[in-house]
Chains A and B, each alone.
Chain A
Amino acid sequence: MATITIDHRPYEVDDGQNLLSACLSLKINLPYFCWHPAMGSVGACRQCAVVHFKSAEDTRGRLVMACMTPVNHGDLYSINAPEAQVFRAGIIENLMTNHPHDCPVCEEGGECHLQDMTLMTAHTQRRFEGLKRTHKNQYLGPFINHEMNRCITCYRCVRFYQDYAGGTDLHAFGRNHQIYFGRQENGQLKNGFSGNLTEVCPTGVFTDKTFSRRFVRKWDLQTAPSVCEHCGVGCNTAPGARDDGKGDPRKLRRVVNLYHRDINGYFLCDRGRFGYEYTNSPQRLYQPLSATSEPLICTTANGEEKIQQPLAPGDAIACFADLVDEALHNKRRLIGVGSPRTSLENNFALQTLVGRENFYAGVSAREMALLKLSDQILQDPQLYSPTTPEIEQADAVVILGEDISNSAPRIALAVRQAARQVQRQRADALHIPQWQDASVRELESGSTPIFIASVEQTDLDDIATDVLHTAPQAIVEFTKQLTAQLHVASTPEDKPGTLEKVAAALRAAKNPLIVCGTGLLSQPLLAAAAQLAQTVACQHSSKRCALYLAFPDTNSVGLVQVSSATRNLDSLSQLLDNSDIPTTLIALETDFYRQMHTSAADKLLADVQLIHLDLLHNATARRADLVFPAAATPESEGTLINSAGLAQRHYCVYEGSGYIQESWRWLANVAAACAARAGGVEKIPQLGEIARWEHVTQLSDALAHAYPPLAPLAELGPEWNALLDGERVARQPHRYSGRTALYAETAVAEQPPPRDSDAPMNFSMEGIPFAGRDPLQTHNWAPGWNSNQAVHKFLTQVTGEIQGGSSGLYLQREPETFETFETFETFDHTASPGEAQAESDTFVPVPLQRLFGSGELSNAAEAIASVLREPVAQFHIDDAQRLQLNSGDYVRFRGFAGKFQVTVGDAAAPGCIGFITGYTSPLPTGTLPAGDIERVTSNTPGGSG
């Protein structure tokens, strides 16, 4: 700690940091542009100038840039000194000489850091009389809009995109006042974190195109804290919604980052940011549907698909209740299928309705086994799932099979920062402070040992010290050998091979990190990775090792906690095969056609009655007898458990359109209907509990009770009726506009806002706008800070925790030390990757992950859908040659639906055929004989294809 004086007042600050962070941590206003909390200082914009006095006698002082000035005990500074104030206003004046002053038509207006700083420095009058320089804008793809004339040349965009996120297609061009930030030519920005440009840019150069399509000002957005539903990482988001008052059901307008120190910090990936558009998709369900037998003149339904018609919600509930009644009278069996992409509460409600023994997880046996194994691995107290800041500090990283850039993108971004660990150590040795970003990055140093074994090229290969592109089986083999190598006393060798090098790096590391996941669908791989991590832990002084396991879905870990390993889609198929009891399948947010092969799904659904609760009118919904429109994550409150085992609550941002409501509410409605028929809840004790549920927190409390690992749920988040300083929290900011005018077409009187019965929040401006220390805080606003930079006002310190502590509570897994994971009992599975050895005439199908393509919901987002490729089959170049296949050919596989475009890469694993997961069906099981590959059309070079 150091004591410094700013404008005659003493302050205690951490020494070594720069004065700008110190001021912002102290909540003192000081304008800046080029500095960024996550990216440090470069001293380019000169906006943060203050006066530094050498001693108490020094009355003139010297202008210094706060962001470039390390604070030392006894330092004397002035922010208010006239010289500093005049200079700072002058800098803005300079920056504004070329700015178009187009705030009224600029999407950034109202949350613009440049606007804020202009006000803060009190620059009000234009004195520059010359011509403004102008630039041409570029087409940067469907996500990001480009308006270069607004640029103030702070360099934050390229510092984020290149330096921080490793992007290579956004650069600074030209020099002097003609500097241009853009691509070499028009085209989509390729980096998967490009969306952050919209938040990193302090003005409106890079804005969110998807938002622009249905734009409103930030102050007209209703927000609540949410959790990203597009992968297992669990980044915190602040979705913004607004009803247009004209009956357009598409209410969600955008998603922006919500700071969580331990997960996403300041950044989201593009799937998380742009995936939200699925909520507005034309496929979205807004009302209950029922299958009808009435003949229609024409229909688009095909195959087994049903012809469906809208049904009043009460009728739909009654129909559902009829079936439950039959089941209560043992005339029918109810089977529930739970989902890893929805909240624990929704799953729990279904489980309670059908009974635990009838609750099946909506994943394949193979995936279930993987999830269970992963969960079990993480019970080992020697292994822990690291936080993002911990990952960033790793000094040896081994990534095994999991393509985290596509399956857990935010974690990949953290690993990218770890790559600079050696450089940072060198900076320490040279006494260069870590925040002095450019100076640290200039240091030529060895690289942090990062080893990547994968089935294809990955986006992290550029930071890897060694890569191995090979078949899953070989990755498992390598992992085992690595473990064995760790047991070998290090023998100094002249030319160590990769194995020795990686082993030595792990042995020497202070913060070793192993990364694996379920992405390759390989249990042997998970087991081997766990074994490796255990071995590293044993040899480490702390007896612990960080192991990040990427789970596929937003609530995979949650689903595992409430599911039995043996009740999954495969065992369900078997069950239904062997019984003729009339069965109703209640599918909770599960698309069977995505989890199973078409034929298997068809078979499963052939003889059952299907009730489907879901968001989109997907293949399963089209087969259902009864469909209920379910609330999406931002439309509901619930609990999700991320890959690290952190239970987090997402809150309802806005009420879904039409008859959308939470799946658990539909189920509760049904139970209540049954209870009413039965003459009271007490008459049907098995359903009584559900029928009484009114608040989601009741479900979480019940879950906490029912499942020991979920005990923390009882402590998570405020009760629905809690109050903050006697009030509820407002979702709409204090400047929200048009609430009386919005519905004036339909009613003159102001409509009462819906009442939230799950969280102490209002769907209006009433209440506390800034919850501050509470997890309900989403409005990043403070006086003078309309932009997202306001976040520092709500943190204990810059890059620190949210003032009230990071939200979320860790799962209480039973600690259990495992001798070895090799013996873990797994589901009987055939030839999962990592086991089958490809023979010369057979191929192992391997799953490939894609940021855009592997996400079920995000694939239905308009902008993302526009960039999706056709399904591909990826071959190693040698295999392709042998099979005489060229890139661009189309192939089919016997016994496996669909047509695939061939891609050929030398970084693809030999003996494997890669399929992008998530397009439609799951991966083919078993091996694929070469004879089963059938070329549909060819694209020989020069030919027309």
Chain B
Amino acid sequence: MRIDTSLRTPLTKNIRAGTSGAVPLDDYRKNGGYRGLQKALTMPPRDISKLVQDAGLRGRGGAGFNTGLKWSFVPSQEDYSGQRYLVCNADEMEPGAFKDRYLLERDPHLLLEGMAIAARAIGATRAYIFLRGEYPLAAERLRSAIAEAESASLLGPGVFGGKFSLQVHLHRSAGNYICGEETALLNALEGKRAIPRAKPPFPQVSGLWGCPTVVNNVETLCNLPHLLMLGAEWYRSLGRGKNAGSKLFGVSGRVKTPGLWELPMGTPIREIVEQCGGGMQPGYQLRGLLPGGGSTDFLGPQHLDLAMDYDVIGKAGSRMGTGTILVLDDKTCPVGLVLNLQRFFARESCGWCTPCRDGLPWVVDILERIEQGHGKKQDLDLLQELAHRMGPGKTFCALAPGAAEPLESSLNLFLADYVAHIEQGSCPYAQNTAPLMETI
């Protein structure tokens, strides 16, 4: 079969519009599936890492670290001959993120093939899919895909009848957002309380049960099959700007057609929101947006023409994160949205380190008072201070810094709204927004 280098949507090319099932193995293979793995099996592992590194594939879990480079920290076979592990992070729980679910439910073999390639590159013979508990459909489909692949010798002992073998196990998590943090995830997999681990040592050196371990996001892994087949140059050419590849971008909030699309890396925000998402619903104006989930900084309407790529969004003071955009409209209270996010983070804090465990409930307390019209001017300085106290490097993991991002940026972007709450003694959006949600 000829391989089509004009392919622009490698992540979703198998998924038929209008269907809702998973791509069956037959179709998947007919479409060139598992050829990337076959190719990878002919390459020395180091070359696979090199290829992925050269292609510029960056982690889609949110941090955007070069995937090939991450793999290269795994000790070489000469240095270490014991067990290694690959872990697929399918714990998607970031507020406003809805991309991994799609891949998991619709094209599980793409993920499995990607995992096999990654495992081959790092020398792992055991892999886990760490799936959040609230994705039962994905669980079912992954489980049957694994079984299919195993009976076709695409996974399990002797892949393609060769020496490489890979045992993939589906782990269904029992919850908590922090489990998505890669070191907390390792503890969860080991059956412990999912508290993050100190870095160094990095998981690539000492991860699961103290063995070298690579944790990769679902989408990251799904990029591998085609990358292997079509090469680094092709992969780079998929991106519009400096960042390589295609990416699942999504929009939620009050746009006409919220959804998820595979687009070139570097597609401008405006295109995603206005063309794909159809623009704002009638009667709503765009006030701001979270470019990549609840733990990224707010951007404003002035940022609409920025390209969605790690560097550009980073320069604008936010992060591309998961690439799923949440749009804030002019009828929704920004303070209310920030409060919603902070409640989430406060609840999901693992409780290990002080700034997060005790800082977030405090932030929530202040925001609740402001939202209810009992805020004070000094509260805004205090919020700044508390956000700063949760900044990068000050907490044990990236959860609290992630929580600080929307908080801090909202204090810049929506300062007038905060002030209005305080001066008016009530929420100016009260008639539009439903009352404060009840929480446990």
Contacts and interface: CB of A to CB of B under 8 A. Distances in A.
A175 B394 CA distance: 20
Contacts of A55: none
Interface in B353-370: 353-355, 357-362, 365, 369
Interface in B15-68: none
Contact of B357 (A42, A128, A177, A426): A177
B389 A94 contact: yes
A172 B394 contact: no
Interface stretch (A432-440, A480-488, A504-512): A432-440
B349 interface: yes
B161 interface: no
Contacts of B7: none
A172 B198 contact: no
A129 to B, nearest CB: 7
Contacts of B205: 430
A44 B396 contact: yes
Interface in A145-171: 152-153, 155
Interface stretch (B206-214, B277-285, B332-340, B404-412): B206-214
A462 B3 CA distance: 59
B358 A177 contact: yes
A133 B358 CA distance: 11
A709 interface: no
Contacts of B191: none
Contacts of B210: 426, 442-445
Contacts of B357: 94, 153, 176-177, 179
Interface string B339-352: 00000001111111
A788 to B, nearest CB: 22
Contacts of A45: 353-354
Contact of A91 (B176, B346, B351, B355): B355
Nearest to B187: A442
Contacts of A63: 393-394
A98 B358 contact: yes
Contact of A94 (B176, B209, B362): B362
A95 interface: yes
B206 A130 contact: no
A175 B187 CA distance: 15
Interface residues of B, number: 36
A68 B395 CA distance: 12
Contacts of A836: none
B140 interface: no
Contacts of A130: 361-362, 365
B393 A62 contact: yes
Nearest to B192: A442
| Residue with the highest number of chain B CB atoms closer than 10 Å, among A46, A87, A91 | A46
Interface string B182-199: 000000000001000110
A246 interface: no
Nearest to A444: B209
A47 interface: yes
Contacts of B347: 176
A49 B206 CA distance: 26
Nearest to B212: A430
A94 B351 contact: no
B354 A153 contact: yes
Contact of B350 (A90, A127, A175, A438): A175
A47 B395 CA distance: 11
B217 to A, nearest CB: 23
Interface string B209-236: 1110000000000000000000000000
Interface in A18-62: 42-47, 49, 62
B440 to A, nearest CB: 10
A98 to B, nearest CB: 7
B200 interface: yes
Contact of B198 (A68, A90, A133, A153): A68
A176 B348 contact: yes
B162 interface: no
A133 B357 CA distance: 12
| Residue with the highest number of chain A CB atoms closer than 10 Å, among B346, B385, B396 | B396
Interface string B81-103: 00000000000000000000000
A168 to B, nearest CB: 14
Interface string B383-420: 00100010001111000000000000000000000000
A439 B353 contact: no
Size class of A's contact patch?
35 or more
Nearest to A128: B362
A859 to B, nearest CB: 39
A202 to B, nearest CB: 13
Nearest to B368: A130
B422 to A, nearest CB: 14
Contact of B201 (A97, A153, A175, A439): A439
Nearest to A92: B354
A129 B206 contact: no
B206 A430 contact: yes
B152 interface: no
A443 B206 contact: yes
| Residue with the highest number of chain A CB atoms closer than 10 Å, among B349, B351, B393 | B351
B316 interface: no
A436 B197 CA distance: 11
Contacts of B350: 175-176
Contacts of A87: 389, 394
Contact of A43 (B206, B346, B353, B358): B353
Nearest to B382: A127
Given A64-B393, A97-B362, A129 B369 contact: yes
A912 B197 CA distance: 48
A128 B349 CA distance: 19
B355 A430 contact: no
A770 to B, nearest CB: 32
A179 B351 contact: yes
Interface string A176-205: 111100000000000000000000000000
Interface string A511-546: 000000000000000000000000000000000000
A380 B294 CA distance: 70
A796 B26 CA distance: 72
A339 B67 CA distance: 72
B358 A94 contact: yes
A46 B394 contact: yes
A499 to B, nearest CB: 29
Contacts of A492: none
A726 interface: no
A121 to B, nearest CB: 12
Contacts of B209: 444
Contact of B354 (A94, A176, A432): A94
Contact of A174 (B351, B358, B359, B385): B351
Given A176-B349, A177-B351, A443-B206, A97 B358 contact: yes
Contacts of A439: 197-198, 200-201, 206
A10 B211 CA distance: 39
Nearest to A49: B394
A184 to B, nearest CB: 15
Contacts of B353: 43-46
Contacts of B393: 62-64
Contacts of A68: 198
Contacts of B348: 176
Interface string A87-114: 1001100110110000000000000000
List of 9 A-B pairs having minimum Cβ-Cβ separation, nearest first? A130-B365, A444-B209, A443-B210, A94-B358, A444-B210, A179-B351, A176-B349, A90-B389, A176-B351
6 contacts: A46-B354, A64-B393, A175-B350, A175-B351, A177-B346, A177-B351
Given A442-B206, A442-B210, 11 more contacts: A44-B353, A62-B393, A91-B355, A95-B354, A128-B365, A129-B365, A153-B358, A175-B350, A175-B351, A438-B197, A444-B210
Interface of A: 42-47, 49, 62-64, 68, 87, 90-91, 94-95, 97-98, 127-130, 133, 152-153, 155, 172, 174-179, 426, 430, 432, 436, 438-439, 442-445
